[in-house]
Every structure is written in structure tokens, then in C-alpha cells.
Amino acid sequence: MRAAVTAIASHRRLLLPVLQSFQTSITTNRNRTIVRNIMSEMDPASFARPRLVTKKVLAKHQREGDGAVVRRCIGRSELKSLDPFLMMDDFSVSPPAGFPDHPHRGFETVTYMTQGGITHQDFAGHKGTIHTGDVQWMTAGRGIIHSEMPAGEGVHKGLQLWINLSSQDKMIEPRYQELLSEDIPSAEQDGAEVRVIAGESMGVRSPVYTRTPSMYLDFSLRPRAQVHQHIPESWNAFAYILEGEGVFGYQNKTPISANHVLVLGPGDGVSVWNKSSKPLRFVLIAGQPLNEPVVQYGPFVMNTQAEIDQTIEDYHYSKNGFEMAKHWRSH
């Protein structure tokens, strides 16, 4: 009997480490499962700091230009600006309404057509029409006077974004970058398609040179699709929903519907899900903040009031960049 007890005790001593190891393995695997389930619910992709929505603003209709209607996304009381972005309009215009001759100085305008076309003319002789899917990236620099009018009958729609220029770039010579729709790089992964107007996504890069470092992406997500986009941590970022509804940040958030501007908080990337039965389309825009004073007087954006006063004088007397304004009118 004593020999049997001794044998059992010996076997217990031998089995104990194995049993403890087995128990540890079960506990560890169970914890891994719990962690994996939590991560699946949150699904912040591979981001160390996922960006979340910190502000949501509905872009409401207002009149602009000569009879045009816009949804002002940025540049309204609820969202004055988001450095380096000064303004963004989701515009809709039909003849004879439009945006007749007007000046700019100190920033860039990016016009992206979503329907129809806009004909552009400026006092330097530049003229052209951009159609659905085309982009015009205009650096106003020291001064431009131009017109933007609908190209033909019907309703013409698009987005216009104003990007600030640094103090050292505000008085550079004007320039244009124009991309036809077929020349805008695009990519598609698992039901998520992107058009890369500026910056990089899904391994493709836009040829557009951004004097103020910026990203401008047009995403379309089929039902149940998702996308995870890296954004430089030091940049400010926002999304604007063109159609459908999407979940931004974490999967368990409430879907947000069209015509909302979503300011994204700090982090290294954003995740978006389309949980609806309809397509989702949104633009994701981000840029490196300039962290400089901004003094704005309508279409003039400088760093000091003295510079604004000088700009008004230059425009009035057709000098220092506005020389061609004296005898020019669009046709």
C-alpha cells in the first residue's frame, strides 16, 4: 500500500508541471481569443493611433457667386477653418448663374468636378473647361483674376477647396495643374476604390505637386466594404460624405450620412466601413498645418492686416501681380 501511495505521489510530482503548463496554455489561448475578439470589434487595422471623429458638421445650403448654390463645408461659423484648409464648397450651378470675374491672392484653389463642367478664364489668357472627374489645381500666388462659369445647360456640380500657402509662397507666380479624369491614378481592393487626386493610397501616387503638403482622395465603397488609410500624424484631416452613409473610426460607431464634414482627431490613420446596402462615396483630405497667422479679406489671404491693405491697394491700382486686371474682362 505504501509503495502504491509513493508511486501515485511520484506520478503527481511528474504530472504537475505538465498540468500547470496545460492550464497556462488554456488561459493564454483564452486571453488571446478575448483580445482577438475585442480587436475584431474595434478593428483599427494596423494603426497605432486610429483617428476618430472629433467634430461633425452638416454642410448647409447658401448662396454664393452670381446665383450659385453651395453647401459650405469649411469656412462657416461651425468650422471656420482647419489649417491649412481655408474653405470647401460643394457647389451646384446652372446657367445663367456662376462665378463671374473675381480675384485671388495668397492661396490655392482645387476644383474637382462631380457632374457637368466648368469653363475657366483668367486675365493671363488661360482658358479651358474641366468636366466630370477632372481636376484643376490653381496656385493663385501673388494674384489671379478669373471667372468660373457653367459649361452648357443643365446642373453642374463639384467641390472647390481652398488651401493656404505659407508666407514664403504667398507671392509666387500663379500656376496651374490640370488632370483629366482618365489621368487621375486609381486603385481598387476588396470593394473599395480610390481616385488619388493628391498624395498616395493603395500603392498609387498622384503626379500633382502640393506646395503645401496635402492629400486628396476620393473613395467609393461598395456595400460591406471597408478601407484603412494611413495619414501622417502631424497633419490635420477631414472627410466629406458625398453619398451614402459610413462608419468612421471604429466599427461600433453610428453611421454618418451624406453632406456631413467629419473632422478627424490625432492619429496615424483612419478606418471606414460601409455597413449599408448602398454605395458610400466620400473624399478624405489632409494637409500639413502651416501654424502661421491668417488674415483673410474675402478672396485675399495673407499673414498680417498690413499685407491685406497692400493687396487691396494692388488690386485697386492694378499693380504687383494684378497689372493685367485693368483692361481685362471675361467673355
Q: What are phi and psi of 318, to 5 degrees?
A: 55, 60
> Which pLDDT score is estimated for 326?
85
Does pLDDT of 44 surpass 70? no
pLDDT digits (tens, 9 = 90+) for 178-190: 999 999 999 999 9
Does 146 carry a binding-site annotation? yes
pLDDT digits (tens, 9 = 90+) for 250-297: 989 999 999 999 999 999 999 999 999 999 999 999 999 999 999 999
Over residues 194-201, the mean pLDDT reads: 98
d(CA 239, CA 79): 13
Does pLDDT of 212 surpass 60? yes
C-alpha 57: how far from chain center:
14
Over residues 44-53, the mean pLDDT reads: 83
CA dihedral for 79, 83, 86, 90, sign (positive or negative)? negative
- In sequence order, what are the residues at sequence separation of 6 or more whose Cβ sits closer than 8 angstroms to the Cβ of residue 209? 177
Q: Which among 72, 43, 95 has a CA at the least distance from the CA of 228?
A: 43
> Which pLDDT score is estimated for 13?
44
Does pLDDT of 215 surpass 70? yes
Query: 123: pLDDT confidence band, cut at 50, 70 and 90?
Result: very high
Q: Which of the residue ranges 39-53, 57-71, 245-259 would you say has the lowest mean pLDDT?
A: 39-53
> Which pLDDT score is estimated for 331?
80
Mean per-residue pLDDT of the chain: 88
- In sequence order, what are the residues at sequence separation of 6 or more whose Cβ sits closer than 8 angstroms to the Cβ of residue 5? none
> Which pLDDT score is estimated for 231?
98
> Which pLDDT score is estimated for 45?
52
Does pLDDT of 56 surpass 90? yes
> Which pLDDT score is estimated for 328?
86
> Which pLDDT score is estimated for 141?
97
Q: β-pairing, 280-287 with 236-243? A: antiparallel
> Which pLDDT score is estimated for 264?
98
Domain boundaries, the chain: 52-317
Does pLDDT of 73 surpass 60? yes
Strands of 245-248's sheet in order across: 226-230, 269-273, 245-248, 256-257
Q: Which among 137, 126, 200 has a CA at the least distance from the CA of 165?
A: 137
Does 156 carry a binding-site annotation? no
Does 102 carry a binding-site annotation? yes
> Which pLDDT score is estimated for 242?
98
pLDDT digits (tens, 9 = 90+) for 2-25: 334 344 344 444 434 433 443 434
Alpha-helical (H) ranges within the chain are 2-42, 305-316
Does 104 carry a binding-site annotation? yes
Query: 1: pLDDT confidence band, cut at 50, 70 and 90?
Result: very low
Over residues 239-244, the mean pLDDT reads: 98
> Which pLDDT score is estimated for 263?
98
Does pLDDT of 30 surpass 90? no
Residue pair 66/98 in contact by the 8 Å Cβ criterion: yes
Query: 29: pLDDT confidence band, cut at 50, 70 and 90?
Result: very low
Query: 325: pLDDT confidence band, cut at 50, 70 and 90?
Result: confident
Does pLDDT of 33 surpass 50? no
pLDDT digits (tens, 9 = 90+) for 82-108: 999 999 999 999 999 999 999 999 999
Does pLDDT of 237 surpass 70? yes
52-317 classified as CATH 2.60.120.10: yes
